Structure formats: C-alpha cells, structure tokens
Amino acid sequence: MSLATARPAIRNARPVSSGAAPCNVVSSRVAPYVLLLLLACLCFSHVAAAQSGQKVVEGKVVGSSAQPLSEAIVYLKNGKTNDIKSFITTPDGSYRFGQLSPEIDYDIWAEYQGRKSATKTVSSFDSKKLLDYQLKVDTK
C-alpha cells in the first residue's frame, strides 16, 4: 500500500476523544473479560485465605476391639453457638469435618447402636490445621 492510498483513510479518520465510537467498541469488548478476570482473582484469593486459616477434624470411629464402625454417627458441637453437625461414618469408620473456625472450641463424639464414645474437645488454642481423632465406642 502506498502513502497516497493511505492518506484518504487518514483524512477521513476522526480523532479519538472521550466517548468516541472506536474507544467504546474496544472497551465494550474488553470490559467483560477484565471484569471476569478481576472477579476470579478476588474469589481465588478469598478461598485461599479462608482455607489457610481453617481447621479440619477427621479420624475413625472404632469399637472395643479396634474394628472400624461403619454407619456410626459422629457429632461436632460448636462451642460458641451450640450448633451441632453430624456425619455418618464410611464403611471403614472414617469421618471428616472441614472448614472449621480456628477461633472456636468444638466438642466431638460418636454414637453407635445407642452407645456413646467419650467426648473430646477441639481447642482453639491448638494451632494445628489438621486434627486426627480416633473415637472409641464400647461395643461389648
């Protein structure tokens, strides 16, 4: 393309100013992507920050002879609100409670066929993020 053929296009071009069509077209195409990128960054940083400060309590429920107890009910009581969450153990006796506040004490115990384990306390003073408790139910 020669300079002579390029000049008419330059002469017909409008100066870009605030609110001009070329600027709005570009920004309207890019804006949704920029917004999505910002939202994704905010979400991932919030999730990472929340997960890094939260506790997880997991373990197994076993009977008198240390056999895993399937379908035992494990209770987790929030010491601040007294709300209780429950979990039915898996076939290998496992349970897991995640996303627990490190600033709250919790009580945890298990029940199996009308019998109850000792209650253990998950202390807010314990700085571990992953806590493993074996809950023993007298099955004799």
Q: Which helix (H) or strand (E) holds 4?
A: helix 3-12
- 109 φψ region: left (φ > 0), alpha (ψ -120 to 50), beta (else): beta
pLDDT, tens digit (0-9, with 9 covering 90-100), for 90-129: 999 999 999 999 999 999 999 999 999 999 999 999 999 9
* CATH superfamily entry for domain 55-136: Carboxypeptidase-like, regulatory domain (2.60.40.1120)
Domain positions in the chain = 19-53, 55-136
Q: For the chain, what is the mean pLDDT?
A: 81
pLDDT above 50 for 39: yes
Which one has a higher pLDDT value, 91 or 32?
91
Opening angle at CA 104, ends 50 and 97, nearest 5: 65
pLDDT tens by residue, 74-89: 999 999 999 999 999 9
